[in-house]
Structure 1
Amino acid sequence: MLRVLFAGTPEVAVPSLRALAADTEHFDVVAVLTRPDAPTGRGRRIAPSPVKTAALELGLPVIESDPSEDTFVDELAATGAEAAAVVAYGRILKQDVLDALPLGWYNLHFSLLPQWRGAAPVQRAIWAGESVTGATVFRITKGMDSGPILAQSTVSVGEHETAGELLGRLAEDGSHLLAASLQGMADGEIIPVDQPQGAYEIARKIEVEDAHVRFDVPAFAADRQIRACTPHPGAWCRLHTQEDGDRDPSVLHILAARPAGNDPAAPAGLAPGRLCADKKHVWVGTASDPLELLEVKAQGKKAMNAADWARGARLGEAAYCD
């Protein structure tokens, strides 16, 4: 039985923790490393990480220490862990920490490495229009997501799938890949393979300003941007209506949208950014076909169906987004 330290923080890491904890034939999860309780949500209340919540439900000991502290290596040794399983932990580990466990640290990363190393691999894959992505288990080394690979699995990206939806699928599928990889490594059945050298895309973190949607691009490009930024940090644009006058435009969050394609209901010749609404649809022009807004959240309002929002928004014929 492999004695494992689990390190993770957000909800996407919970399926892997639960999978390892449930497999008591092969794994003994001796402790869970996560970030300290932190402010979260609109009310900024102090709350535990999703991984800590799951660990406490499972009756597992929780470590919230800073890995950069001098005493951390001794704390690791006290757990008796032989290896560590890492999923979205969010902290950089120094070499002395990586060397502290005899069988090493292993990360579940949500891309087909070496492509999309970095913080936002799922979002960047969708934004780039990739039809296939996957998950990789690799041994953590000093470089960013560059250690030798134990195993990979692939999934198709849904035509209308958001980053949140795809990440949820990968988290579940990847939990089984991680468990099988750790077991194979411990049994000597898997020999890690070095990643190929070359220039690969880096999955840079998506900031709020990156999620500002442009409409002077083809509909497919705006659609990819919106799906990549959903749910975090959330796609948005500036809304201009006839009632704005000298006021600054308001912010409109786009929660769901879809290119018009061959939809006969879509208006023809709609200029980029121009809004057009009827009883059942809200369209915004792009550099190609219109984009249909399906669900939106106006500034200071709750999320709602775009057509319902438009009926109360008094958009006017000159309304547009940029």
Structure 2
Amino acid sequence: MRLAFLGTPDFAVTALAAIVAAGHEVVCAYSQPPAPRGRGHALKPSPVHAFAEAHGIAVRTPASMRDPGEIAAFAALDLDAAVVVAFGQILPGAVLEAPRLGSYNVHGSLLPRWRGAAPIQRAIMAGDALTGVQVMRMTQGLDEGPVLSSATVRIGPLDTASTLHDRLAAAGAELIVRTLPEIEAGTAVAVPQAAEGVTYAKKISAKFARLDWTKPGAVLDRKIRGMSPFPGAWFELPTDKGPVRVKALLSRFEDEAGEPGVTLDDHLLVGTGEGAVRLLRLQREGKGPQDADVFLRGNPVPAATRLG
């Protein structure tokens, strides 16, 4: 098929790579404009932009797909279909309807649950046992289009947004490659989403990342894993030089009782409002991520330490 691909992060690269490997003609990749990254804040292309350039695919990085010139350029590509994966812009109807067979989104949840920006993180934070990926025909409503194909993925007790992201990206890549021939042949069946069970996955904000140890341990455990690695749920660790910020990147809920925010042993079991949380992977401010045993060698945290 003659395709355009619209995507930005690593999650989208997995799908683009699979589409290219399957032999489809990707005539143009669209991505968000290069953004400042790293200590030097130099402008760097997105993962999709970099992958496309490395594979000889033309790249466009419009500030807005609503620009009349961009709409005309997109229509001039004479596409069979467009594939959209975590692009980062709302697409106007003129763009969605330009390809001969329509525009299709690979979405990281089981719709209508978790429409919106952060379905992977929100599924973990809500305690969902199952999630998945779906290929949806795009309409102008936010993730409201009919679903053509689905794959279910289980969420494990030690899954983080990072580990679940990788499994969903792989599942989504396999799903879109399997679904494109059905779209081309006209055999794909578009099933309208249910009217019940709609939830919205709001973007994850760093301003809500601080851990409140008075909350139930199960809630805190899911928050830690859902915000890992970014923005990273955090707490303050007391030191001789004052409190330092530490991100909790992996945890496990344990059915123990203790004062909220106070360590119950020498191995980072922390009391909460209900139950306790075992911290398994951490990152001290200015340092790299470390497993708990390595972290404790340089930052001992004895029992009865009060965390902020």
| Shorter-chain TM-score above 0.5 | yes
Is this contact kept in 2: 1:37–1:47, CA < 8 A?
yes
Of 34-43 and 79-88, more deviation after overlay is shown by 34-43
Q: Distance in 2 between matches of 1:179 and 1:308?
A: 42
Secondary structure, counterpart of 1:174 in structure 2: helix
**Equivalent AA in structure 2 for residue 275 of structure 1:** T
Secondary structure, counterpart of 2:76 in structure 1: helix
Pair 1:181–1:241, CA change in 2 (3 A) = same
Secondary structure, counterpart of 1:71 in structure 2: helix
**Equivalent AA in structure 1 for residue 284 of structure 2:** A
Q: Distance in 2 between matches of 1:105 and 1:83?
A: 6
Q: Distance in 2 between matches of 1:269 and 1:176?
A: 44
User: Which of 260, 273, 279 in structure 1 is aligned with 2:254?
Assistant: 260
Is this contact kept in 2: 1:30–1:80, CA < 8 A?
no
Pair 1:15–1:308, CA change in 2 (3 A) = closer
Q: Distance in 2 between matches of 1:169 and 1:154?
A: 10
Alignment of 1:1-322 (within 5 A): 2-24=1-23, 27-65=24-62, 66-241=64-239, 244=242, 249-261=243-255, 269-278=257-266, 281-313=267-299, 319-322=305-308
1:264 corresponds to which residue? Answer: none
Q: Distance in 1 between matches of 2:39 and 2:264?
A: 32
Give CA-to-partner distance per residue, 1:181-220, whole Å, 9 cap, x none. 2221110111212112135221111101222222213322
Q: Distance in 2 between matches of 1:210 and 1:320?
A: 21
Q: Distance in 2 between matches of 1:62 and 1:233?
A: 29
Q: Distance in 2 between matches of 1:311 and 1:199?
A: 47
**Equivalent AA in structure 2 for residue 233 of structure 1:** P
Q: Distance in 1 between matches of 2:111 and 2:180?
A: 18
Of 251-260 and 159-168, more deviation after overlay is shown by 251-260
The TM-score normalised by the length of structure 1 is 0.89
Q: Distance in 2 between matches of 1:49 and 1:56?
A: 11
Is this contact kept in 2: 1:230–1:255, CA < 8 A?
yes
Secondary structure, counterpart of 2:98 in structure 1: coil
Q: Name the larger-Rg structure.
A: 1
**Equivalent AA in structure 2 for residue 256 of structure 1:** L
Deviation at 1:291, TM superposition (A): 1.7
Secondary structure, counterpart of 2:68 in structure 1: coil
Of 289-298 and 201-210, more deviation after overlay is shown by 289-298
Q: Distance in 2 between matches of 1:109 and 1:269?
A: 39
- The percent of aligned pairs where both chains have the same amino acid is 38
Is this contact kept in 1: 2:27–2:57, CA < 8 A?
yes
Is this contact kept in 2: 1:139–1:148, CA < 8 A?
yes
Task: Name the count of aligned residue pairs.
Answer: 307
Secondary structure, counterpart of 2:261 in structure 1: coil
Secondary structure, counterpart of 1:79 in structure 2: coil
Is this contact kept in 2: 1:273–1:284, CA < 8 A?
yes
> Structure 1: which 5+ residue stretches go unaligned?
262-267
Deviation at 1:237, TM superposition (A): 1.5
Secondary structure, counterpart of 1:177 in structure 2: helix
Is this contact kept in 2: 1:241–1:318, CA < 8 A?
no
Q: Distance in 1 between matches of 2:303 and 2:18?
A: 54
Q: Distance in 2 between matches of 1:219 and 1:242?
A: 28
Secondary structure, counterpart of 1:80 in structure 2: coil
Tell me how large the CA RMSD over aligned residues is.
2.0
Pair 1:154–1:305, CA change in 2 (3 A) = closer
> Structure 2: which 5+ residue stretches go unaligned?
none
The TM-score normalised by the length of structure 2 is 0.92
